[in-house]
Amino acid sequence: MVDHYDTPQYRRPGVVRRVVALVASGGIGVLTGVLAAIVTSFAIAIAVIWLTNLLQQ
């Protein structure tokens, strides 16, 4: 036999909670972009240094 329990009815989060979620997701997006830009710039710098050393040989 299976027991069925009523679940609480869904309530939308409040305005403040939605704004905080929006700001937090925007911050995470900016942080991810900054980290990707740093990694990319280091990779490009290393490639340029390596290619310059190849030209000087």
pLDDT at 9: 92
pLDDT of amino acid 55: 87
Which tens digit of pLDDT belongs to each residue from 16-55?
999 999 999 999 999 999 999 999 999 999 999 999 999 8
Residue matched to tokens 């490009």: 44
| pTM confidence score | 0.67
Q: Can you tell me the distance from the alpha carbon of 48 to that of 44, in angstroms, rounded to the nearest whole number?
A: 6
In this predicted structure, what is the pLDDT of residue 19?
97
In whole angstroms, give the CA distance from residue 6 to residue 18: 27
The string of DSSP letters for 1-54 reads -----PPPPP-PPPHHHHHHHHHHHHHHHHHHHHHHHHHHHHHHHHHHHHHHHH
Evaluate if residue 56 carries a pLDDT over 90: no
Task: Give yes or no for residue 1 having a pLDDT over 90.
Answer: no
